[in-house]
Amino acid sequence: MFTIGADPEIFVSKGGKFVSAYNLVPGTKEKPFKVEKGAVQVDGVALEFNIDPATNYEQFQDHLDTVMRTLQEMVPEHVFLEDASVYLDPEYRASLPPESLEIGCSPSLNAYTEDADESPDGNGDLRAVGGHLHIGGFFDPDEDEMVKWSRSLRLIRLMDKYVGVYSLLWDKDELRRKIYGAAGSCRIKSFGVEYRTMSNKWLFDKKITKFVYDQTAEAVAALHRGEDVESEMYREIINSSLRDHDFFKGNPVAAKVA
């Protein structure tokens, strides 16, 4: 048994044009605004929501649908964008309050090096959104802290192998990873881990959402089998966006989302 949650970010448009989500809804990183089955908030120029942990796919999808529907009802004049990255027009950027331009509330950890990833530069014009997954229930709370730490990082590497590498097949954005979302990007949490490699693109197609859930279950199962990722291949494919890599050719898992 494992639990899965998420905290995706979404850009919005109005009148067919990207606009900042700053101040569109209540809630902040420090104090998310509670709604049915989750919470909402603003994250820089994007909307963000999180969902209550789920223990099966049907519950996971229901939580996503419920909170997204609530969020859309809170911004009825705005349209959710499926773009994973946007460039801020310099003139429009200059009109925004400084606090809306901040990005990266705290550094991510790299599961391969165990070093902190470099925080993105809020002075640039490129902005990107993530589709982070929260995974819990894969260790005993009474286990030694170092054992939990090691197991958590191993799961993140397995998430690259079973989920993240395949995200290249549905997410063709080439800009987001310039800011963040490298292979192995994560945060270690009291409940488990936050997997931060993917964008939010999996959110907009239920076939892909189910694939993400099912493959996360595969990664957790692999963890319990004692599996680890010894090869640098998955990391290289993700970080360099190698969609034409031989790994995908004749791969029956890739065929599910290709």
Q: Is the pTM of this model over 0.85?
A: yes
Q: Which residues pair with 195 in a beta bridge?
A: 133, 186
**Burial annotation 79-97 (CB, 10 A radius, 16+ → b, else e):** ebbebbbbebeeeebeeee
Q: Which residues pair with 109 in a beta bridge?
A: 116, 186
Number of structural domains, the chain? 1
| Residue range(s) defining the domain that contains residue 210 | 3-255
**Cα 83 to Cα 22: distance, rounded to the nearest angstrom:** 17
Structure confidence by residue, pLDDT tens digits, 134-162: 999 999 989 999 999 999 999 999 999 99
Element (H, E) at 50: strand 46-51
When pLDDT is averaged across residues 213-236 and rounded to a whole number, the result is 97
Examine the pLDDT at 54 and tell me if it is beyond 80. Answer: yes
Q: What percent of the chain has pLDDT over 70?
A: 99
Structure confidence by residue, pLDDT tens digits, 69-88: 999 999 999 999 999 999 99
Angle at 201 between CA 205 and CA 48, to 5 degrees: 110
CATH number, domain of 192, equals 3.30.590.20
